[in-house]
Amino acid sequence: MAEAYDHLFKLLLIGDSGVGKTCLIIRFAEDNFNNTYISTIVIDFKIRTVDIEGKKIKLQVWDTTISTAYYRGAMGIILVYDIMDEKSFENIQNWMKSIKENGSAGVEHLLLGNKCDMEAKRKVQKEQADKLPPEQGIRFFETSAKSSRNVDEAFSSLAQDILLKSGGEEKRKKQKGKEGRERKGEGRGMD
Ligand SMILES: Nc1nc2c(ncn2[C@@H]2O[C@H](COP(=O)(O)OP(=O)(O)OP(=O)(O)O)[C@@H](O)[C@H]2O)c(=O)[nH]1
Ligand SMILES: [Mg+2]
Q: What Å distances lie between residue 67 and 13, 44, 82, 98, CA to CA?
A: 11, 12, 20, 10
For a mutational test of ligand 1's pocket, the pick from 17, 23, 78, i.e. the residue with the most ligand atoms closer than 8 A to its C-beta, is 23
Q: Are 46 and 80 in contact, with CB atoms under 8 Å apart?
A: no
The CATH code that applies to domain 7-185 is 3.40.50.300
Ligand 1 centre and the CA of 82: distance in Å?
A: 9
Whether 125 is in the pocket of ligand 1, judged by its Cβ within 6 Å, is no
The protein residue whose alpha carbon is closest to atom 8 in ligand 1 is: 20
User: How many Å apart are CA 15 and CA 190, to the nearest integer?
Assistant: 58
- What are the structural domain ranges in the chain? 7-185
Greater model confidence, 83 or 180:
83
**CB neighbourhood size of 158 (10 A):** 24
pLDDT in tens, 33-86: 999 999 988 778 999 999 999 999 999 999 976 666 677 789 999 999 999 999
Give the model's pLDDT for residue 185.
44
Looking at the CA of 21, which ligand is closest? 1
- Using the mean position of ligand 2's atoms as its centre, give its distance from the Cα of residue 40 in Å: 4
pLDDT in tens, 126-157: 998 877 766 557 899 999 999 999 999 999 99
pLDDT, residue 142, reads: 97
Its pTM stands at 0.87
